[in-house]
Amino acid sequence: MGLKPSRVVAHTGELRALTGDDDGAQRVAWTETWARARGWLAELLADLPLEVERDQAGNDWYTLRGESERAVLLGGHMDSVPNGGWLDGCLNVLAAAEVLRRIAEDGTPPVTVRLVDWADEEGARFGRSLFGSSAAGGSMADQDELRRLTDRDGVSLPDAIDAFDVDLDRALDARSQLDGAAAYLELHIEQGPVLESLDLPLGVVLGTFGVERSRFTWTGQAAHAGSTPMDQRRDALAGAAKLALAIRDIARETGDGAVCTSGNVTCRPGIVTSVVETAEQLLDQRHLDAGRLAAMLGRAQELARGFAKEERIEVEWERLWSIEPILFDETLIDFADEAITEVAGTSHRLPSGPLHDAAEVARAGVPTVMLFVQSLRGLSHTKLEDTKPEHLELSVAALDRLTTKAIANVAG
Ligand SMILES: [Zn+2]
């Protein structure tokens, strides 16, 4: 009896055998393989005294009733990208299942404890991530766009989710699931190289980055590649190239995890015999602090203006998409720090670059925290994704300690 972290490692391996192939995990949401994974999870938990329910957004809830209605939630997602890794999302669920088992065996807990398997975190099939958690969190506002989405085979999103009894018009009714939620805890693989570079198994996540996505359009003059002297060119690509390098300095000077990426530059006319007339450059900037994120964008715009002048070209920009940073709960961050220190000796605090279901729950006002466990080589969304078994076991132990602290805190 008691917590058995090694069981979680065995279960993730079992799930891999059941729902993966030579190319990796194939648990894409709203597919048969995903349904098989979820059915397997239900069987895994079948011997525990849980209430089982699928909500209006397709999220699966396993509830262990406590003495109080107030609830501590443990979350993750069984879905994966195609050819995905064996741990992303399902480690969270399976670790939470083990913690739930341990709590159930200890008797009725002072507060209710719930495991949620979020529907379609990855958005791999229709390009819309965080489906179930954004419905439950209440931020889903793009039903009209969702209605028009189709997958590669032309199947519409409404038809695909209908097969799972999910109706877009009712998805937001899942919001009632967060009634009484007093804490949300999620363990996840880091999916980046930071913890490995520090030689630490575990870290506490402070929140998820705010993101600013812009398109910079540089305009010069198309001119013959043979007849136009170098000093008489108005080369749009030169501006984009200078900015692509300058964003490294912007990120470095901003610090605290700041990242800037020039993900694409599309050139016109785009032929080898012409100076570039227009260059459309995509810029993605991320930071945990809203003010510093805004300053990073302002700095990129200021530098772009200067480069345009130097190159005698024009530049304009537009915002494509943005999201505010989402900060996790300070009390839970402290508990997570303690839990990690207890099981691993040293803790570390870090921001999350990727968005997670936890961000949607935090946005909805539920105190939230995440634990990251080291990813080998920082790889994820590939079959090469991996974490040492001993680190997986530590992560389960840390989630268990964190859950105990959160329950005690909520119980008051
Ligand atoms: Zn994930």
Closest by alpha carbon to 89, among 231, 241, 233, 191?
191
Distance 354 CA to ligand 1 centre (A): 9
Given a cut of 70, is residue 326 above it in pLDDT? yes
Distance 174 CA to ligand 1 centre (A): 20
pLDDT (tens digit per residue) in 102-127 = 999 999 999 999 999 999 999 999 98
322 pLDDT band (50/70/90 cuts)? confident
Tallying the residues shown for the chain, one arrives at 412
Closest by alpha carbon to 381, among 116, 205, 189, 212?
189
The residue type found at 395 is S
Distance 35 CA to ligand 1 centre (A): 17
Given a cut of 80, is residue 165 above it in pLDDT? yes
Q: Report the distance separating Cα 319 and Cα 259, nearest Å.
A: 17
Distance 378 CA to ligand 1 centre (A): 14
**Matching residue, tokens 């610090």:** 255
Q: Report the distance separating Cα 57 and Cα 177, nearest Å.
A: 10
Distance 43 CA to ligand 1 centre (A): 22
Q: Could you check whether the bond before residue 49 is cis, i.e. omega within 30 degrees of 0?
A: no
Given a cut of 90, is residue 7 above it in pLDDT? yes
Residue 207 and residue 325 in contact, taking contact as beta carbons nearer than 8 Å = yes
Q: Report the distance separating Cα 318 and Cα 68, nearest Å.
A: 50
Distance 80 CA to ligand 1 centre (A): 8
pLDDT at site 323: 87
Distance 410 CA to ligand 1 centre (A): 26
- What is the end-to-end Cα distance of the chain in Å, rounded? 27
Distance 111 CA to ligand 1 centre (A): 27
Q: Which letter does DSSP use for residue 239 in this model?
A: H
pLDDT at site 133: 97
- What is the reported pTM? 0.89
1 pLDDT band (50/70/90 cuts)? low
Distance 89 CA to ligand 1 centre (A): 4
Mean pLDDT of 260-272: 96
Sign of the CA dihedral running 79, 85, 89, 92:
positive
Distance 130 CA to ligand 1 centre (A): 10
Token couple for 399:
């989630």
pLDDT at site 354: 86
pLDDT (tens digit per residue) in 365-388 = 999 999 999 999 989 989 999 999
Q: At residue 6, what are phi and psi to the nearest 5 degrees?
A: -65, -25
308 pLDDT band (50/70/90 cuts)? very high
Distance 146 CA to ligand 1 centre (A): 21
- Residue 309: count of CB within 10 angstroms of its CB: 12
Q: What 3-state DSSP class applies to 216?
A: strand
Distance 133 CA to ligand 1 centre (A): 12
Instruction: Report the Cα 268 to chain-centroid distance in Å.
Output: 34
Average pLDDT, the chain: 96
